[in-house]
Chains A and B, each alone.
Chain A
Amino acid sequence: MRYLPKSDSERNEMLAACGLKSLDDLYSYLPSKVLIKKPLNIPAGISEYEIVDYFKKQANLMANGYASFLGAGVYNHYRPVLCDVVVSRGEFLTSYTPYQAEISQGTLTTIFEFQTMVCQLTGMEVANASMYDGSTAVPEAAMMAIRITGREHVIVAKSVHPEYRQVLHTYTLNQGIPVTECGYDSETGQLDLAGIEANLTDHTAAVIVQSPNFFGCLENVRALADLVHSKGALLVVVFTEAASLGVVQPPVDADIVVGELQSFAISPSYGGPFAGIIATKEKFIRQIPGRLVGQTVDANGNRAFCLTLATREQHIRREKATSNICTNQALIALMGTVFMSVYGKAGLRELAEQNLAKAHYLAGGLPARFKAPFFNEFVVRVGDPEALNKKLLKKKVIGGLALGRFYPELADCTLLCATEMSKRESMDIVRQAVQA
């Protein structure tokens, strides 16, 4: 087999060196009760060519050649070639978590750059080396706020991604953390400030909101921050569309920012792997979950990096750790790092402005459901969104997300997204279909 680098004669030599007669001797001492009785029912191995062919066949059953206006947490952005070039280097691809600092400075340096750029982007002071994704970063932020405040109650706005909220419920259910969901203003599409105020008590550890929210609307983070802080709670701001941060004011008034970096060169991949971020104020650094890289010096006095503040983590603190997280998304975070350095300061702004322009073109003349300003996603009242999507599919266009699935009261609405990848002629097809 091509992944097993030994000849039979080498195997025999090794067996002899071990004082064994046959390969079976390596495991035949196991209790006979547990030994497998018949071979695995998996076909014999196939060649590279056949493997490529198999996956091409499956890929052809997917949405090849369709224009898509789906967003809702996963966005179609161009992936600069350099991103794959860098992550394909074996030195990054085939290395482990950088525990041995002396031979991991490459990974450590890129993570330090990642942490820095995440801070610059979000307006926070410290960021970790990544989380599994945006959805799991939300409960991690909630648990962090609970540790910091010593309180136990969490409020989450209903305009936060519905699947993120579901994950929050799964994580908190058995930890004695009550979660209250607060509604949204049906005119503006923004969170209902009065609703949050009514539920905010001196037991509330965190208020979790998303901006741009699930409907694409920008939230008034500033006003909310004042309210939340006046009750001694922490404000957690979530984002799913990282590209928005090229033009939208970052949530500098938040205490914890979590989000999804998928927009930064991470292909949609039918939902993963993505990379989550968590960033916060310096004073909360010891409560941040996951891996952190810090700057230090080597024995020659030169700048060097290493994993740091490891005592927060599971391999040392075990059941008292800040989280059980171990593996993170280093390689995916590296894609995001390369993306950020390729676009840079000016490019990220220009990219965001293109998204803004495309989305506003697409929205032009369509019946907007909400009034709040939006970045590249917005809700349109279309009557029967499923029927509209069927119509569009015939024209090789995947329409928006029909919202009834998550918000029964919005069953006549669809969530449309345009990015720099959206072409004018496809957008015209959608506009005409909605207006028809």
Chain B
Amino acid sequence: MIKKVRRHIVQDEPLLFEISSPGKKAYQLPELDVPAVDAVEALGAANVRSEIEGFPEVSEVENIRHYTRLSTWNFAIDLGLYPLGSCTMKYNPRINELVARTEGLAWGHPYQPEELSQGAFQILATLEKYLCECTGMDAITLQPAAGAHGEMTGLLLVRKYLESLGNPRKKVLVPDSAHGTNPATAAMVGYEVVSVKSNDHGMIDLAALEAATDEDVAALMVTNPNTIGVFERDIVKAAAILHAKGAQMYMDGANMNALVGICRPGDFGIDVMHMNLHKTFSTPHGGGGPGAGPVAIKKHLEPFLPVPRLKRIGRKYSHDYDRPQSIGKVRAFYGNFGVLVRALAYILAHGGPGLRNATIDALLNAQFIRKGLEPYFDLPVTEPTMHEVVFSHDRQEAKGVKTGDMAKRLIDYGFHAYTTSFPLIVHGAMMIEPTETEPKRELELFIDAMISIAKEVDEDPQLVIKAPHLTRTPRVDETLAARRPIVRWKP
């Protein structure tokens, strides 16, 4: 039975271009306080464009209704549990939005004088310090724009370091349970990707790792806890295998939210790692970005970090570009500063003890869901669960129902879908990550919904296969979209 939601009216809305009419306006510019300039005279006729064909002309009222109506077609954390495994959809505190808009910060120009940038420097230095403390690493660059960008930065550091020792090496090892960005990144940095099989427990197989590690291996990219939500118990031994051959340990910190305050990658053999501030440190996902993917490293990699580095002389900070061994720049300016401000606000709100409590609540929530659902769904890996749990659809598939179908049915119950079909090593994966910011009642409603869906699979599988039934938009034809791509509006 569906307990959390009921139907309500949803407004329909055309595209902007379809409500456009010549002469409608949502703007007014101030009167010019200087003489107007004729564009043709200033730029030359060939350089002046004709009107922007098809561009909308919409009033202010229609604008706000347009976007407000569209917004109601979205699910969001603000509406309820968003259990996407691996994505860490936790509550986004609004104070973070407010402080990021503080005038001097929001309007800071990256080239403004350093003496008028000390506030930004303070913020960056403080965040660097706290993130190093959380990870147990020695130094950090805040510049990468997202997790995958951090991966690239991290592997460039590894490459430059190994080059400085005389040989950049050829291969990067990636476990078969890894995020798709890992192999894609290794290829971009000029490494051959070698996939390493996981063992029956979904963990690194030390024998396979040992066999794969030779003098040509530059690094192992490991996610810990891994994508099954299980801590890599042999991580210290794995690091020893890599280090014995002179290779580096790269950690994908996508799941760092399971570790903060409990253990630190710097203490279990990691040389370089990225973290996703939009996951662990709660900066909003915003429908797909922006994020930030800082890269933390051990001392030996510090000379290679991207420029500029923060330099402190007395009480004043400045940008240091004089770093001859640096990998260079991975993006313009200094990173997604606005995202970094939000992450620092989050850390300040929790404080050290609070961050640890948040981690523990995340583990408790995942454990609670596992206990609640274990009788109804197959659990291929039974190792202790950390922050997320991965079931398989095997039991339901016998009735013709797959993980994607149950995920869609979950939408009818008032929840976002869980992650389907990832990690690849679990057949028909159902990957559930509640995060620490879910109340007990919401978790109970979720467990209740999943049990109810399991019963529906037994009694009326078609109900599940054809879901969702209650959304404004029923199932969408993705095949048609891919066969006949229409990626822009035309009159």
Q: Are B34 and A36 in contact (CB under 8 A)?
A: no
Given contacts A4-B436, A319-B193, A331-B289, is CB(A59)–CB(B104) below 8 Å?
Answer: yes
In the assembled complex, how far is the CB of residue B206 from the closest CB belonging to chain A, in whole angstroms?
14
Q: Are A109 and B15 in contact (CB under 8 A)?
A: yes
Q: Are A105 and B148 in contact (CB under 8 A)?
A: no
In the assembled complex, how far is the CB of residue A152 from the closest CB belonging to chain B, in whole angstroms?
13
A-B contact pairs, 22 of them (CB 8 A): A3-B93, A3-B282, A51-B345, A55-B341, A64-B104, A70-B109, A82-B64, A86-B71, A95-B286, A105-B472, A106-B73, A107-B288, A120-B52, A167-B331, A250-B49, A270-B110, A271-B333, A296-B477, A298-B477, A326-B146, A351-B29, A427-B34
Q: Are B360 and A88 in contact (CB under 8 A)?
A: no
The number of chain B residues touching the other chain, given as a range, is 35 or more
Q: Please, which residues of chain B bring their CB within 8 A of the CB of A297?
A: 476-477, 480
Q: Are A247 and B48 in contact (CB under 8 A)?
A: yes
- Asked if A324 is at the interface of the complex by the 8 Å CB criterion, the answer is yes
Given contacts A52-B99, A319-B184, A344-B27, is CB(A268)–CB(B106) below 8 Å?
Answer: yes
A382 to B339, CA, bound (A): 37
Q: Which 3 A-B pairs have the closest CB atoms?
A: A331-B286, A271-B333, A90-B78
In the assembled complex, how far is the CB of residue A26 from the closest CB belonging to chain B, in whole angstroms?
4
In the assembled complex, how far is the CB of residue B228 from the closest CB belonging to chain A, in whole angstroms?
16
Bitwise, B35-64 to A at CB < 8 A (1) or not (0) is 111010011101111011111111010011
- Asked if B474 is at the interface of the complex by the 8 Å CB criterion, the answer is yes
CB within 8 A of B262: which of A27, A351, A427?
Answer: A27
CB within 8 A of B287: which of A18, A95, A127, A135?
Answer: A95
In the assembled complex, how far is the CB of residue B416 from the closest CB belonging to chain A, in whole angstroms?
7
A310 to B487, CA, bound (A): 13
A74 to B106, CA, bound (A): 12
Q: Are A273 and B475 in contact (CB under 8 A)?
A: no
Q: Please, which residues of chain A bring their CB within 8 A of the CB of B20?
A: 344
Q: Please, which residues of chain B bring their CB within 8 A of the CB of A55?
A: 99, 102, 105, 123, 341, 345
Within 8 A of B (CB), among A120-143: 120-121, 125-127, 129-130, 132-136
Q: Are A115 and B482 in contact (CB under 8 A)?
A: no
- Asked if B97 is at the interface of the complex by the 8 Å CB criterion, the answer is yes
Bitwise, B67-79 to A at CB < 8 A (1) or not (0) is 1101111111111
- Asked if A180 is at the interface of the complex by the 8 Å CB criterion, the answer is no
In the assembled complex, how far is the CB of residue A93 from the closest CB belonging to chain B, in whole angstroms?
5
Q: Please, which residues of chain B bring their CB within 8 A of the CB of A163?
A: 329, 332-333
Given contacts A35-B263, A170-B327, is CB(A344)–CB(B57) below 8 Å?
Answer: yes
In the assembled complex, how far is the CB of residue B186 from the closest CB belonging to chain A, in whole angstroms?
7
In the assembled complex, how far is the CB of residue B412 from the closest CB belonging to chain A, in whole angstroms?
10
- Asked if B161 is at the interface of the complex by the 8 Å CB criterion, the answer is no
Which segment, of B83-91, B208-216, B243-251, B449-457, faces chain A? B83-91
Given contacts A40-B356, A171-B188, is CB(A304)–CB(B473) below 8 Å?
Answer: yes
Contacts A174-B189, A357-B36, A375-B43 supplied; 18 other A-B pairs, CB < 8 Å: A3-B282, A4-B361, A27-B360, A34-B236, A39-B352, A42-B347, A45-B350, A59-B102, A62-B107, A95-B74, A97-B285, A107-B74, A132-B146, A270-B105, A273-B145, A309-B482, A328-B289, A340-B56
Number of A-B contacts (CB under 8 A): 666
- Asked if B380 is at the interface of the complex by the 8 Å CB criterion, the answer is no
Which segment, of B114-122, B196-204, B294-302, B391-399, faces chain A? B114-122
Q: Are B476 and A306 in contact (CB under 8 A)?
A: yes
Q: Please, which residues of chain B bring their CB within 8 A of the CB of A285?
A: 485, 487
In the assembled complex, how far is the CB of residue A46 from the closest CB belonging to chain B, in whole angstroms?
6
CB within 8 A of A96: which of B73, B285, B422?
Answer: B285
Residue of A85, A166, A292 contacting most chain B CB atoms (<10 Å) = A166
Within 8 A of A (CB), among B283-322: 284-293, 306
- Asked if A249 is at the interface of the complex by the 8 Å CB criterion, the answer is yes
Bitwise, A354-373 to B at CB < 8 A (1) or not (0) is 10111011000000000001
Q: Please, which residues of chain B bring their CB within 8 A of the CB of A361?
A: 34-35
Q: Are A296 and B190 in contact (CB under 8 A)?
A: no
Q: Are A273 and B336 in contact (CB under 8 A)?
A: yes
Q: Please, which residues of chain B bring their CB within 8 A of the CB of A57?
A: 119
Q: Are B368 and A40 in contact (CB under 8 A)?
A: no
